[in-house]
Amino acid sequence: MSECVVLVRQARPEDQDARVTLVRLGLAEYNFPAFLYFFLQEVMLQFVLLCCAVLFIFFSTPLWICVLPGPALAIVTYIGCTCVHIELGHKHKRKVRDEWVGFVAELRGPLVHEPHGVMPYVVSELDADFAPVTPTRILGTVSLSALWGPADGLWLHDLTVHPQWRGRGLGGALLQASWQWALRGSGLAEGAMVEALVSRLQGSAAALLHEQGWQTRGSYRRPAGAGTALPVLRLSRILEAT
Q: pLDDT, tens digit, for every residue of 113-168?
A: 666 666 676 777 655 555 556 667 899 999 999 887 656 789 999 999 999 888 88
2 or 210: which leads in pLDDT:
210
User: Looking at the predicted structure, is the pLDDT value of residue 29 above 60?
Assistant: yes
| Per-residue pLDDT reduced to its tens digit, 139-154 | 999 999 988 765 678 9
In this model, does residue 1 exceed pLDDT 50? no
> Can you give the pTM of this predicted structure?
0.83
> What's the confidence (pLDDT) of residue 127?
58
What CATH number has the domain spanning 2-238? 3.40.630.30
Using an 8 Å Cβ cutoff, are 171 and 163 in contact?
Answer: no
> Cα angle vertex 127, ends 123, 131, to 5°?
70
Work out the burial of residue 187: count CB atoms within 10 Å of its CB; fewer than 13 is exposed, 13-18 middle, 19 or more buried: exposed
Query: Per-residue pLDDT tens for 30-77?
Result: 888 888 888 777 566 677 777 777 776 777 778 767 777 778 878 888
CA atoms within 13 A on the CB side of 220: 6
pLDDT over 70 at 86, yes or no: yes
Exposed, middle or buried, 165 (CB in 10 Å: 0-12/13-18/19+)? Answer: buried
Closest to 34 (Cα-Cα) out of 160, 226, 199, 162: 199
